[in-house]
Each structure stands twice: as C-alpha cells, then as structure tokens.
Structure 1
Amino acid sequence: MPEPFVAYLRVYEPLSTFDSPLREQLGAALRRGTVDPFDAGSVEEGVWLRTQVSAPPQLLPGDAVAEPDVGPVLSLDPEQVPTAPAAAVGPGPLVCPLDLRGRSAAALVGFLGSAEPPLRSAALAVPVDKAKVQASSVVAEQSRGAVHVLSSTWTVPLPWFVLVDPTERVVITEERRRVCWRVAMADARRRIARGHSVCRKSIGEEGPTRILRETGRWLERFHPHSAVELDYGGLVQMMNGGDFDADTSAEDVHAIIDAMEAGDMGEVGERYEALRDFWSEFASRERHN
C-alpha cells in the first residue's frame, strides 16, 4: 500500500524546553521508541484508520481514553542539523510530536466548513453539529500551543523552500527514498523574515506573502533553539531519478526572492514558470485520484 502523498514541514524542539507533565510524557514516548521519518505518513494513516474501525468509531484519535497521550513522536540529534555560525540548536534530544489529535481536529473543522452537506453526512458517524462542537473544542485546546507539523497533499507549497539552504538538501534514492532539508530555527526565521519583506514590497500582502507571514508566525511559537525539517514525505513515490536531478525548487525560490529584491521581474517570471512546470505534473495527479 503506498504512503499518503503528503509533504511535511516539522519543528523539533529540545525535550528540556517542554513544561511538565508534557516533558515526562514525551520522555516516555522516546523510551518506547520513535517513529522512523520514512514511516511517518504510514503511521499517521494507521492511527487515523484505527479510530474509524473501532467499535464504536472515534471521531478523533484519542477519543477512546480520558487522557489522550502524546502519541507517536519523531526525534533528531542536534548534530543532524546544519547551522549558520550565529545559530544554535539543542540541547538534544530534539522532539517532534506528531500532534495527530490536534491536526485531525483542525482538518475536520476545515472539512465541515467547506464540504457539501451530503458529503459531510456520509463521511461522519455522528451528527454534523456534534462533530463540529467536538472538533472545535480540541482546536481551542490546541491553540494554547502549536502543532509541530504542517502538511500539504500532492505538492510542496513553494514558500516553504524559503526556509532552507538549497545546498543542504538530503536525497536518498535507494529502496526507501527520501528528500528533506533540516535547518536551525534561527536560520529559518531569518530567511522567512527576509522573504516576507521582499515579497510584500514586490507583490503585496496576498498569495505567497500571506503564506510566508503565517508560516513565520507559526515558527515564532517554538523555542529558538529548535530545528525545522522540510520533508517531501510520500511525494517521492511519484518521482523518478530524472525528477530528483531536475528538481531545483529551492534554488529557484531563492533566486526569485533575489530577483524580486533587484527588481528583475523577467528572472522572476522565468523561475516561476520552471517551478510551475515541475510541480504541476505531480499536482495534476490529485485530479485523477
């Protein structure tokens, strides 16, 4: 069974910076064993499916217990994160809770707000009003903190590439393929602040500028010595060796920011067209599924 066609932007915070009792719960999760990043999408899918086949079905992960635990976690060693001279990461271990309950609730609120009534009724095992109240309550609880994972289906939001150093891409093309970047939080915030400033002056407040603003605000909610990871996740299943070689997305996005700052809109157009041609092929597959 293929992995979900999902890309991820994750934050790993130092375990020591979490408050009790969450710090102890995360420590226990680490001792039980962390999720391999190669398996993260499948683990998330499995947790969700188990909620739906339980008796009775659960609306959200963790509904069957009085005190939901932290669930699966990912972990990084600070030495796995490239840093600029002024940036610091750690101390380790760095922990990324998958936050499946909060993310599922947020996704459900979005679904209930956009889906047609017949689809909502067919997809839910409980009345729509009850589902909306329950999911909104979980989202309100989550708002005191921040989910550690953002996800995108079928494509990677181009503004995400602003956060990374194009030269530090990790590409694994063996049996278990992976494409990812890791970056210190301080470096990610510095790059996204510049990108937002340049885009706002060049193209206004909407579109990519809005995504950069929202992503920057999200990053500000985490410890400054955290790490950020951009992971293609299950999207690599749609890519072949030629696609890996042709993928210059991070280079193109950074070149667009430089060209905007220099007022070279011809370069901006050429780079954007190349990005659109590359990613539209993958995004179009959503329409065939």
Structure 2
Amino acid sequence: MPEPFVAYLRVYEPLSSFEPPLREEVDAAVERGSVDPFDAGLWEQHLWLRSQLAAPPRLLPGENADGEVQGVGGVLVLAPEDVPTAPAATVGPGPLVCPLDVHGRAAAALVGFLGDADVPLRTAALPESVDKARTRAGAVVSELSGGAVHVLSSTWTVPLPWFVVVDPTERCVFTEPDRRRVCWRVAMADARRRVARAHSVSKQSIGDDGPTQILKETGRWLERFHPHSAVELDYGGLVQLMTQSDLDADTSAEDVHAIVDAMEADDAEEVATRYEQLRDFWSEFAAREHHN
C-alpha cells in the first residue's frame, strides 16, 4: 500500500517541557519506541484502518469503543544536533519529541468534513450517527483549545507559505529506493522570525487574505509551543510522486523566499517570475488530486 500523499509541518518540543499528566504519556511512548520518520504516514494510515476494521468500528483512531483515548499514541524523536540553527537560536535540551496527535487531528478533520460536505455525502459516510459524530469530534477539538496539535498536514501539495519557515540551503534529501524523503529542520526561534517578517511584508504587499492569512495562522500556531523547539517541513508521501529530475528541479523554498524579498523591494516582475516557476512545478502534482 503506498504511503498517503500527504506533506507535514511538525513541531518537536523538548521532552522536559511537557507538563503532567501528558509528560508521563509522552515518556511512555518514547520508551515504547518512536515511529520511524520514513514510515510516519503509513503508521498513521494503519492506525486509522485498524480503527475502522475494529468491531464495532471506532469513530476516531486512537480510541476504544467507548470513545476513550488510548494514551498519547505514536511519537517522533529528534536530536537537537540534527537541527540547523542561526547563532542566536537555541534548541533543546534533547530529546525533542513530536506527538503525532492522530486522535485530535482526525477529530478536527471530521469537524471540517461535517461542516463542508453535502448532506448525501455526510449521510453515506456516517449513515446512523452524523449528529453523534459531530458532537464527539467537536468535544475532542474543544479539548485542544488549551494546546495545539504538533502536526499540520496537507494532501497532494505543500502550502507555499510553509516554505517561509525553512532555510532553503538546509534541505535534507534521502533517495535510497525504499527510503526516500525530503525535509527541512529549523529552530523554533528562526521559524518564528521568518514567519513574522513574511507576514508583515505580505500584509503590506497584498493585504490580509490568501497567503497572508496562512502566515498569520502559522505564526499563531508556532507561538503555542516551547521556544526551544524544532520545526520540520516534510514532503512525506508526496516524494513518491517525484522523480529524481523533479527533486533536482525543485527550488520551491528558494522561490518563496525570493518572492518575500521581491515584495519587500516592490519588484512585481520578480514576484511574477518566481510564482510562475512555483505554479509550473506544483501544478503537475495538484492535477493528480483531480484525477483521483
């Protein structure tokens, strides 16, 4: 089964920064063994499939038949020395841990689906329990109001504002046949600084909507975590769609940073040129969503 065609923006917090009782759950998950980052998408997919094949099926992955959550679930672990930092940024102490938060993320996705989908589709997906599903998923999302999920995901493409977070020169590419991955890692302080600058420039250049709104939301999300955390942008399963020539031609991070610089310099021609390069590169992958 192929890995889901999903890209991720993740936050890894120092293990010491988690407060009880979550700390005990995260400690236990780390002791059980972290999820292999190359297999994170498949791990999440299998967790969801198990929830649907259970008897009776579970509404959300990571819970039992009564809707009770079964611990923190899977975690990813990262060492501070694997995170490039600017001179003023601090990461750690280690280990850095990213709870995959599949239960909360699934609940948020279900709330969105129930709000956006047409009635026939909602009824087909949840023929006997639409109201119950809405209430339970809404309750899970409400419990997240004091914190935040550590993972944002996007199907079939990478939201272009996410590239603002990273240093274009720090891309990690793994191209072994069965171990392909593209990711960037960055200190939280550097990520917040880049997002804040891009948001300010974008707001002055194009107003409050579109990319500016995404940057605003991303900045607010980052502020909810420990300042010595790390942030990771991971192409996830999207790398399955990319050939080696695609990876060689991918200048997305460079292009996004150049767009921010060009907007600040009021260089409309450079903005248009860079945006056209991004559109040409990502349109092929976006088109596959419609084919599916």
Q: Please say whether Structure 1 and Structure 2 have the same fold, judged by a TM-score greater than 0.5.
A: yes
Q: Distance in 2 between matches of 1:190 and 1:286?
A: 33
Q: Distance in 1 between matches of 2:281 and 2:96?
A: 33
Q: Would you say how many aligned residue pairs link Structure 1 and Structure 2? A: 289
- Amino acid of the structure 2 residue aligned with 1:27: D
Find the counterpart in structure 2 of residue 87 from structure 1: 89
Distance 1:245 1:8, change over 3 A: same
User: What is the percent sequence identity of the aligned residues?
Assistant: 74
Find the counterpart in structure 1 of residue 23 from structure 2: 23
Q: Distance in 2 between matches of 1:67 and 1:135?
A: 12
- Give the alignment partner of residue 77 of structure 1, picking from 72, 79, 92: 79
3-state SS of 2:77 partner: strand
Alpha-carbon contact 2:5-2:155 (below 8 Å) kept:
yes
- Amino acid of the structure 1 residue aligned with 2:18: F
Find the counterpart in structure 2 of residue 144 from structure 1: 146
Asked whether 1:8 is paired with 2:44, we answer no
Q: Distance in 1 between matches of 2:122 and 2:33?
A: 37
Asked whether 1:281 is paired with 2:284, we answer yes
* Offset of residue 125 of structure 1: 5.6
Q: How does 1:26-105 map to 2 (within 5 A)?
A: 26-64=26-64, 66-105=68-107
3-state SS of 1:177 partner: strand
Alpha-carbon contact 1:57-1:125 (below 8 Å) kept:
no
Q: Distance in 2 between matches of 1:15 and 1:241?
A: 36
- Give the alignment partner of residue 231 of structure 2, picking from 222, 228, 233: 228
3-state SS of 2:146 partner: coil
Runs (4+) of structure 1 exceeding 4 A deviation are none
Find the counterpart in structure 2 of residue 187 from structure 1: 190
* Offset of residue 140 of structure 1: 0.3
Q: Distance in 1 between matches of 2:252 and 2:175?
A: 18
TM-score (norm 2): 0.97
TM-score (norm 1): 0.98
* Offset of residue 288 of structure 1: 0.8
Q: Distance in 2 between matches of 1:53 and 1:125?
A: 17
1:236-280 CA distance string (max 9 Å, x none): 000001000100000000000000000000000000000000001
